[in-house]
Amino acid sequence: MKRNGATFLAPALVVLFGGALFAWWTHGFRAFTNFSAARIAAGPIPRQAPALPVIDQNGATWDVAAPSSEFRLVQAMYLNCPDACPIAMSKLGKVATILARDAIPPKLRIVSISVDHDSPEDLLEMWDAHGAHAAWTMASLTETNLDPTLAKLGVWVFRRPDGIINHGLDTYLLDPTGTIIRIYTADDRIEDIVAELRALTTQPEPQPAATPEHSS
Amino acid sequence: MNRPRIMAIALWIALAAVLAIGPLDRWLDTTMPRIVLLQMPAWFTLGWLAGRKRGTLLATIDPRGLGSLALAALTVIFWMIPRSIDAIGISPLADTLLHISLLIVGFALADGFPRLPFVAKAALCIMGTSHVFALGIFYSKYTALLCGSFSLIQQQELGRWLLRLTPFVLVWALIGAFRALSRSSSTQPTI
């Protein structure tokens, strides 16, 4: 018995300590990337989106998260991204194209928000390059310091030493009150996203939530 | 202490110093493949070299070497989490913790590995090889960025390197397993 105890005590202690460390570092085994950690740190959904004051490709200024008649599908983008963004933008473009086949639900607007201060001219060029969908807006935040706002939304942003900006590619669905009600990750299938968007945006007008911020 | 021993210790300290400070450490922290394929094995090897000739230093608290096995497995898994790889590149503290933890793991495994039952040695080799292969597939094929401070190109490059290395790891593991089998049959009781 003594020998068995000595044999397994050390590994048991290592596993216990290691398990506790893993649980702490991964927010309870839920966040294995900085992207998911930022999403979790921003709080559970549904929650009110932070104010997102932007200037779009047409030069118009507005708040993406303000109450309106539309659902908004919001994703961060970086115009000079060499790899991940073109794939994510292409996916978002496919969503817009599929929805446009039967006319995009009139209550839905897709918004790509730049993680940099891009000019309306640059945004317009990108909008044209991605099919110039009427229901797809490309915009830049007007605030000087963008990172805190993007962090409140749940977007991890890292400005690399070589000048490239890495950022989360989750897609946030805001209801007409400006509450984040869904978060789609890179692993979600386009067909599933489209089906859910169709179902949500064709439902009767939702009542504004009395307490949009969840405490759980 | 004889002269070769002193020379070996001096060489070990010099290697650790070169790896820990200065431009080499910064160079190693710059890309994912360098961190995973060069920096991690380098610090583990330094630890292994330090613990290799120590005999049974930890035998009292870890008589079968299972503690060192658990420590090695958990430490490697911890540092392979994308968030951890990011931290190595971003935070000097995390980088230093990586150095220290892998030194300790190398030391502990060098001490504990000879005491491990053959079954555990074989499991370590099989798990290690499959871990390298699975990570290779994952990193080379996944099209979204996992490590937020590096690039997708680096991520996929790391995956391809891991796949290239898998056959070598497998051969090395098999040789190690056969050597362990021959030793355990002559020196250790089986469990």
Q: How many CB pairs under 8 A join A and B?
A: 94
- For residue A167, the chain B residues in CB contact (below 8 A) are 148
Closest CA of chain A from B80, distance in Å: 10
- For residue B74, the chain A residues in CB contact (below 8 A) are 14-15, 18, 22
Whether residue B155 is predicted with pLDDT greater than 90 in this model: the reply is yes
pLDDT, residue A214, reads 40
* Distance from C-alpha of B157 to C-alpha of B149, rounded to nearest angstrom: 15
Whether residue B154 is predicted with pLDDT greater than 80 in this model: the reply is yes
- For residue B83, the chain A residues in CB contact (below 8 A) are 25-26, 31-34, 37
Contact, B85 vs B97, CB < 8 A?
Answer: no
* Distance from C-alpha of A187 to C-alpha of B61, rounded to nearest angstrom: 45
- pLDDT class of B54 with cuts at 50, 70, 90: low
- Identify residues of A whose CB sits under 8 angstroms from chain B CBs: 3, 6-11, 13-15, 18, 21-22, 25-26, 31-35, 37, 82-84, 87-88, 156, 158, 160, 164, 166-169, 186-187
Tokens of A132: 């110039």
A33, B148: Cβ pair inside 8 Å?
yes
Burial of B60 (0-12, 13-18, 19+ CB in 10 A): exposed
Q: Calculate mean pLDDT across residues B17-39.
A: 91
CB-closest option in B63, B86, B151 to A83: B151
Instruction: Give CA torsion, residues B116, B119, B122, B127, to 10 deg.
Output: -100
Contact, B114 vs B57, CB < 8 A?
Answer: no
* Distance from C-alpha of A27 to C-alpha of B110, rounded to nearest angstrom: 32
B151, A156: Cβ pair inside 8 Å?
no
Q: Calculate mean pLDDT across residues B7-34.
A: 90
A102 Cα distance to chain centroid:
25
* Distance from C-alpha of B24 to C-alpha of A7, rounded to nearest angstrom: 40
pLDDT in tens, A104-155: 677 889 999 999 999 999 999 999 999 898 889 999 999 888 999 999 999 9
* DSSP 8-state code for residue B35: I
B67, A10: Cβ pair inside 8 Å?
yes
Whether residue A209 is predicted with pLDDT greater than 60 in this model: the reply is no
- For residue B90, the chain A residues in CB contact (below 8 A) are 158
- For residue B75, the chain A residues in CB contact (below 8 A) are 18
A83, B83: Cβ pair inside 8 Å?
no
CB-closest option in B70, B84, B86 to A11: B70
Q: Calculate mean pLDDT across residues A167-178.
A: 94
pLDDT, residue A136, reads 93
Record the pTM: 0.83
B153, A32: Cβ pair inside 8 Å?
no
A84, B152: Cβ pair inside 8 Å?
yes
pLDDT, residue A9, reads 86
* DSSP 8-state code for residue A191: H
* Distance from C-alpha of A114 to C-alpha of A125, rounded to nearest angstrom: 13
A166, B153: Cβ pair inside 8 Å?
no
Tabulate helix, strand, coil % of chain B (nearest 5): 80, 0, 20
B78, A88: Cβ pair inside 8 Å?
no
pLDDT, residue A216, reads 35
* Distance from C-alpha of B168 to C-alpha of B183, rounded to nearest angstrom: 22
pLDDT in tens, B65-77: 899 999 999 999 9
Q: Calculate mean pLDDT across residues A188-208.
A: 79
Q: Calculate mean pLDDT across residues B157-178.
A: 90
> What is the DSSP code string of B42-85?
HHHHHHHHHHHTS-STTTTT-TTSHHHHHHHHHHHHHHHSHHHH
Contact, B99 vs B35, CB < 8 A?
Answer: no
CA distances for A192 relative to A92, A94, A97, B162, angstroms: 13, 12, 14, 33
Task: Find where tokens 């098999």 sit.
Answer: B174
CB-closest option in A7, A14, A166 to B145: A166
pLDDT, residue B184, reads 63
B66, A31: Cβ pair inside 8 Å?
no
Q: In what order do the strands lie in the sheet with A179-184?
A: A47-48, A179-184, A171-174, A71-77, A108-114, A136-141, A53-56, A61-63
pLDDT, residue A107, reads 86
Q: Pick from B145, B150, B154, B191 the residue to mutate for testing the A interface (most A CBs within 10 Å).
A: B145
* Distance from C-alpha of B161 to C-alpha of B7, rounded to nearest angstrom: 34
pLDDT in tens, B69-102: 999 999 999 999 999 999 999 999 999 999 999 9
pLDDT, residue B150, reads 92
Closest CA of chain A from B5, distance in Å: 31
